[in-house]
Amino acid sequence: MDKKTIIVTGSTRGIGKAIAAFFLDEGHNVVINGRKDLSDDLMDYFNAFDGTVHVINGDISDSAFAKKLIKDTRKHFGSVDVLVNNAGITRDNLAIRLSDEDFDATLDVNLKGTFYTSKEAAKVMLKQRSGHIINMSSVVGVAGNVGQANYAASKAGVIGLTKSLAKELAPRGVLVNAIAPGFIESDMTDQLTDEVKEKALTTIPLNRLGKVEEVAELAGFLSNQKYITGQVFHVDGGMVMNG
Amino acid sequence: MTTFEKIQEIIVDQLDKEESEVQRSTNFREELEADSLDLFQIINDIEDEFDIKIESEEGLTTVEDLVKYVEGQIES
């Protein structure tokens, strides 16, 4: 199998970490990105895989950093084959209590950050005449959620961005898709009370939370296929079903 | 390297053409069969190379148009 270069934004924990681990386990070059320095334990964890790790920390909501992320990756590994836009934040509150700052901050990282990195990666991929961009949306971006107007808007925006990019980049063989995870076991869901978890389970036909590895496997599949673009894939145990 | 030579190099690289095919009078769409994605990629590379901003591709039909535009930007 060809060794690819994969950037995973927000890959120091949760779904991003699992996606990075998945590609490292397959022996690829993986750029790890977070906003803070990685702990020694985390570096040891990533370095234990067959693939090659390169860390580029910074905030993707800063367009200058997004440019640097792509440029440095290309300089270090020579190409950018897959970009996984995973970095995201939540600032939950009911819409009538949601501050302008919290709305903007969520859009800045989740939507604008995804645009900034995609734009720079697209320039490289167009030239290569190949590449995959995989954007992390959410079921919330499709179905909405109480207390998450900002997050839902940003993740719905990611879907529109995904489909537009898919159409623009298709003529050069660059494929763009989105993944919409539902309730996935992570640091975020660990903090939920048992009562909230029980309630969440009643909305999931498969009656369990998802695993980060199940999202990572889909990212792996998407990075290998050549005839799927502009699609949104739900990994949500059947929570939201589209016709 | 002159402005023309640099621009020629970018176009040759982007469109995978021979240098002889890319002359001052060469028309992007008709002679080089460049589509709008090609043109935007060429413009992107020129912006990076010359550290200028090309606001619109309007009026940029031939290589000479591009050379004149870039030289005008560099002078101002």
* Residue A129 annotated as lining a ligand binding site: no
Report how far residue A53's alpha carbon sits from residue A47's, in angstroms, rounded to the nearest whole number. 7
Q: What is the mean pLDDT of residues A13-37?
A: 97
3-class secondary structure, A191: coil
Burial A135-160 (b: 16+ CB within 10 A, else e): bbbbbbbbbeeeebbbbbbbbbbbbe
Which residues of chain B lie closer than 8 angstroms to A123, CB-CB?
A: 41, 44
A5-235 folds as Rossmann fold (3.40.50)
The label of the residue with tokens 């560099």 reads: B74
Instruction: Give the minimum alpha-carbon distance from B60 to chain A in angstroms, rounded to a whole number.
Output: 21
Residue A56 makes CB contacts below 8 A (sequence gap 6+) with: A31, A32, A33, A68, A69, A72, A73
B35 contacts A171? CB cut-off 8 A: yes
Tell me what the pLDDT averaged over chain A comes to.
96
* Residue A18 annotated as lining a ligand binding site: no
Q: What is the pLDDT of residue B56?
A: 86
Report how far residue A54's alpha carbon sits from residue A28's, in angstroms, rounded to the nearest whole number. 11
The label of the residue with tokens 């992570």 reads: A186
pTM to 2 decimal places: 0.93
Q: What is the mean pLDDT of residues B28-42?
A: 92
pLDDT bracket for residue A1 (50, 70, 90) = low
Question: Which DSSP state fits A82?
Answer: E
Q: What is the mean pLDDT of residues A69-73?
A: 98
pLDDT bracket for residue B65 (50, 70, 90) = very high
* Phi, psi of B35, deg, nearest 5: -95, 180
Q: What is the pLDDT of residue A4?
A: 98
Listed residue (A217, A124, A151) closest to A179, CA to CA? A217
pLDDT digit string (tens) for A173-209? Answer: 999 999 999 999 987 778 778 888 888 899 999 999 9
Marked catalytic residue, from A45, A116, A151, A227: A151
pLDDT bracket for residue A27 (50, 70, 90) = very high
CATH superfamily label, B3-75: ACP-like (1.10.1200.10)
User: How would you list the strands of the sheet with A29-32, edge to edge?
Assistant: A52-55, A29-32, A5-8, A82-85, A131-136, A174-181, A232-235
Residues 21-60 of B with CB under 8 A from A: 35, 37, 41, 44
Tell me, what amino acid is at A166? A
Which residues of chain B lie closer than 8 angstroms to A166, CB-CB?
A: none
* Rg of chain B taking only CA atoms, in angstroms: 11
Q: What is the mean pLDDT of residues B47-55?
A: 92
pLDDT of A105 > 90? The answer is yes
Please confirm, yes or no, whether A151 is among the known catalytic residues. yes
